[in-house]
Structure 1
Amino acid sequence: MTAAALGGCSLVSGDGGDGRPITVGTTDVVTTLDPAGAYDAGSWALFGNLYQSLLTFAPGSATPVPDAASACRFTDDGLRTYTCRLREGLKFANGHDLTARDVKFSFDRILRIRSDQGPGPLLSTLRSVTADGADTVTFRLRSPDATFPFKIATGAGSIVDSTLYPADRLRPGDAADGSGPYRLTSYAAGASAELTPNDHYRGAVGKPGHPVTVAYFADPGAMAAAWRKRSVDVVSRQLPPADTARLSLGSGDRKGFRVAENASANTRFLVFNLRDGSPLKDVAVRRAIAAALDREALTRDVHHRTVEPLYSLIPQGVPGHTTSFYDRYRRPDPEEARRLLTAAGVRAPVRFRLAYSKGAATREEAAVLKRQLEATGLFRIDTEYVEWKTFQEGYARGAYDAFCLSWIADFPDADTFTSPLLGPNSTLHSGYTDERVARLIRRAELSSPRERAAETYRTIQRIVAEDVPLVPLWQKKEYVVSKDTVSGAQYLSDGTGLWRLWRLGRM
């Protein structure tokens, strides 16, 4: 019998200071406050503070630990039945009791609503959930899945109040009723979120943290200007690359502020639309693009070397990483790209539409990609900036031939770069399917301990470099800049997918 997340722990929160809210700036976007309707970094960053999951991750750890649960484990040798017992005395921030019924309801509605922008792809192995009394929840899986504890420790496992959320549709409005370390006292979409400690919280965090105001900025330049005026205490995701380089690479002193630099599985992909009618449906066209791209120039000219070229689906630092794209497309080679198109009978130039949305230097990045590919004479590209929510809806319905998308690990395991991106219910909605990859994903999900899956993930990446449903562009570290009077900023990003606002404090 395989067990995970047995026992309990306390993840210490920030404290001290004068009680004034700590203001944290970010360019992330919150798609919705309803966990059934969001699968993006900005929404999940907030969810991890407002909602509680059965499990969570301690800072820097790759092993889930109990949060709303007191203990969880697989109760069969086949990794198909997973059972959690809840902590005693759980309540939502509004004072309502949190029971096994709420947990079952929360998972059931994700599967029922099936939002195109929701976390359904992470729960593809979940068949059903039962509530046994008030304190026990049992998950039955369609296929063995050793990664299931990781998945329910993410925003996909957010527990909502079953008396306040519709069972079959997303909850409208700006309210959030969870049981996390914070309660939401005020929210203005695209502007701010006011968080105050939740006195009812019982879980892995020893006690609620400091009051926090999250300030949402429309673009990195605006956030950089706010930081220069010190109208924010902390900035996290994303400053412009030039500012990041200046602050993090040491061109000048750091008087009055700190820079926390954490290894992170923060990646960027050029994703292709493989549906009928797309000019990129032909694999020869996608391979030609992969052969022509110059990642080194992209990292140098756009990102000021604050990112590193990425040659694989799974980034460096994650077990299973390889260099499959480097092995196949070793250097930018326009002549090889031309040979690929000629051999396939594809007439050049191939014209396609490239969409991009919010983020640091996304406009400049799209311009460089366009310039690189058009310089070969093989492509003509129409680039387009699209507002974030419209962008998500657009690529879900296949509106773009190609699009640039950042992907941040949901949890510290290679599965977060395979199952949701390449599986049958891919969140990319690119139209890519490959039975070999599907079988390998299922095989990898069987592996426990997780290190045993590394070779399977390497095989998946070799197929991806052959099929090219996407091209990896770069990966980067996470940089968090804070006033030197603020403690705990280093915990806002550590590769576990959690934004630990509760660790912030004033000194």
Structure 2
Amino acid sequence: MNRKTLVLPAVVGLLAPVLVACGGAEGVGGGGDSIVVGTTDELIADKDAPAPLDPAHAYDTGSWNVLRQTLQTLMHAPRGGGQPVPDAAKTCAFTDKASESYRCELRTDLSFTDGSPITAEDVKFSIERVLKINDDNGAAALLANIETIDVKGDHEVVFHLATPDATFPYKLSTPIAGIVSKKKYEGDKLRAGFGVDGSGPYTMTTQVKDDAVTKVTFKKNGSYKGDVKLHNSKVELRVYEDPEAMAKALDKGEIDIATRELGPEQVAQMKEKPKENITLTELQGLSIFYLAFNTDHPAVKDKAVRQAMAALVDRGQIAGQVYSATAEPLYSLIPASVSAHKNAFYNRYGEPSRAQAKQILRKAGIKTPVKLSLHYSEDRYSGATAKEFGLLKTQLNASKLFDVTVEGSDWATFRTAHKRGDYPVFGLGWVPDYPDPENYIAPFLEKDNFLNSPYVSTEARKLIPQSRRQADRTAAEPAFARLQEIVANDVPVLPLRQDKQYVAARAGVTGVERLLNGSSDLQLWELGRGDS
């Protein structure tokens, strides 16, 4: 099947250097031969998330980007995007036309970092472990369609699926399908802490303070056998509290690269006041930000309330005033750079309209103003979320149809509360597990979705498995068009913006344009030293 059509601009011309800017100290990071990368993606262990780097539990960009460097999967996303290619596997393919049986042959002489050989039994153990633990924070749902796994000898594994799924190779390329050792991981219990043992391109050690990772050191795994070619032998990933602190570290020469996530203010400063020796590179991202609704909560149980919000929210104002050139308005769960995208919310509601929102509420017999609280994480995204939610409050309250309050909390508190159903409305970002339109729909609408949403659309739950039958993914676009219409009508989520990605790098580092792919997968192996 040809997946390149799914991510049109995200694959072709993905990266465009914006400017040369930002000088500072000579020599970088004090890391010797290390390439030092800054990030704001947190890695925290607490009572609600004691195992942030266990593949059965991890399901956030920061954790997955550590696991992608250290755990090997049968398939992985290739350089430049497109259809997954074998990594731990030598070959993988469907053995039937219905996309229900998927066979992989492993490379020979694979081993974990402790020297133990990797066999097909280890692959089976790793996948079945995820399904058995079925952690409510994790991504086990990606593999839930597996009915049985057959092992033939040391190098052949066959996955039998309950229903056809042409996206299955993508799912095997995600960290949830990472291959782990029985010696280091129990079959029915999460591995607490920050240790990772696999067979990926790197080994790793962590520096931890107050149950949070401050630095991850990746070293080249000499026993790695796979598709990835390493251009370095050591990378340090340093975690910063916010984009401002990370940008200052870049200016001071403490790090070589600033990546996920530079905030809009930092990007604007780098564009407006160029300095010497740093290049800011713009990458087209596939991440989105949206409002999610607890559709059982009395405040938003009537979909007319959610529809009225959809009619009032001014996405253009949010993108322009809060995020400047770093985000674009989004009118669907599927971003505009994916070919199945449809402007479903704009088609239904048009430009922001108080009159339309008032009519929706009056027709449903909703008393106004509707009292409502919006919730967001203070420390999770680009640092501009508080300003964004302040603007949302202003937009909704200016209509006199809503009486909105806004509340921010730290990520650990926020995550627990929204999963428990405490919040009527809350903001979240979504980075796709793989660049197929199905991954922007199924995680929100299927049973046991990652939002723990009580919303149910019987039609959507029929269309999603139907869409997976299409080996030619363009043939699934009519199903996705209808699914986007369902979301716009029922508003279980309200898309707000699609974000761009930026990487700022000091002179002398190569491979920066390949550091992040469209799905925000960190590819540290692409970095090297040399002429810019």
Interval containing the TM-score (normalised by the shorter chain): over 0.9
Which amino acid letter does the alignment assign opposite residue 99 of structure 1?
T
CA distance in 2, matches of 1:490, 1:3: 24
Structure 1 residues 277-426: aligned runs within 5 Å? 277-357=297-377, 358-360=380-382, 361-426=384-449
CA distance in 1, matches of 2:451, 2:141: 10
Are residues 1:466 and 2:469 paired?
Answer: no
Identity across aligned pairs (percent)?
38
CA distance in 1, matches of 2:267, 2:447: 37
Contact 1:58 1:64 (C-alpha < 8 Å) held by counterparts: yes
Displacement after TM superposition at 1:385 (Å): 2.0
**Larger mean Cα displacement after TM superposition, 165-174 or 127-136:** 127-136
Out of 89, 98, 108, the residue aligned to residue 78 of structure 1 is 98
**Where does residue 11 of structure 2 map in the other structure?**
none
Out of 218, 231, 254, the residue aligned to residue 254 of structure 2 is 231
CA distance in 2, matches of 1:187, 1:141: 41
Out of 262, 266, 291, the residue aligned to residue 270 of structure 1 is 291
Are residues 1:47 and 2:60 paired?
Answer: no
Aligned-pair RMSD on alpha carbons? Answer: 1.9
Structure 1 residues 96-495: aligned runs within 5 Å? 96-188=116-208, 189-207=212-230, 209-247=232-270, 250-253=271-274, 255-275=276-296, 277-357=297-377, 358-360=380-382, 361-495=384-518
Which amino acid letter does the alignment assign opposite residue 394 of structure 1?
A
* Offset from partner CA, 1:155-179 (integer Å, 9 cap, x none): 2221111221121121012210011
User: Any stretches of 5+ residues in structure 2 without a counterpart?
Assistant: 4-27, 45-51
Contact 2:2 2:83 (C-alpha < 8 Å) held by counterparts: no
CA distance in 2, matches of 1:326, 1:235: 35
**Larger mean Cα displacement after TM superposition, 59-68 or 371-380:** 371-380
CA distance in 1, matches of 2:353, 2:213: 42
SS at match of 1:341: helix
**Where does residue 10 of structure 1 map in the other structure?**
none
Contact 1:122 1:419 (C-alpha < 8 Å) held by counterparts: no
CA distance in 1, matches of 2:231, 2:124: 26
CA distance in 2, matches of 1:196, 1:141: 37
Displacement after TM superposition at 1:496 (Å): 4.3
Displacement after TM superposition at 1:216 (Å): 1.0
Out of 10, 31, 36, the residue aligned to residue 23 of structure 1 is 36
SS at match of 1:243: helix
Displacement after TM superposition at 1:497 (Å): 4.5
CA distance in 1, matches of 2:343, 2:144: 28
Task: Give the TM-score of the pair, scaled to structure 1.
Answer: 0.93
CA distance in 2, matches of 1:210, 1:482: 18
CA distance in 1, matches of 2:231, 2:104: 24
Displacement after TM superposition at 1:129 (Å): 2.2
* Offset from partner CA, 1:204-235 (integer Å, 9 cap, x none): 11347331111111222221222222211111
Q: Which segments of structure 1 move beyond 6 Å, counting only runs of 4 or more? A: none
Contact 2:74 2:86 (C-alpha < 8 Å) held by counterparts: yes
CA distance in 2, matches of 1:229, 1:92: 38
* Offset from partner CA, 1:459-502 (integer Å, 9 cap, x none): 11011100101111011221111111111121122214421001
User: Any stretches of 5+ residues in structure 1 without a counterpart?
Assistant: 5-16
Which amino acid letter does the alignment assign opposite residue 80 of structure 1?
E
Which amino acid letter does the alignment assign opposite residue 29 of structure 1?
E
Contact 2:206 2:213 (C-alpha < 8 Å) held by counterparts: no
SS at match of 2:427: strand
Displacement after TM superposition at 1:379 (Å): 1.9
* 252 and 218 in structure 1: CA distance in 2 versus 1, 3 angstrom threshold: closer
* 353 and 114 in structure 1: CA distance in 2 versus 1, 3 angstrom threshold: farther
Contact 2:287 2:519 (C-alpha < 8 Å) held by counterparts: no
Which amino acid letter does the alignment assign opposite residue 447 of structure 1?
Q
* 19 and 57 in structure 1: CA distance in 2 versus 1, 3 angstrom threshold: farther
Displacement after TM superposition at 1:134 (Å): 1.5
CA distance in 2, matches of 1:47, 1:82: 24
CA distance in 1, matches of 2:91, 2:350: 48
SS at match of 2:435: coil
Task: Give the TM-score of the pair, scaled to structure 2.
Answer: 0.89
SS at match of 1:424: coil
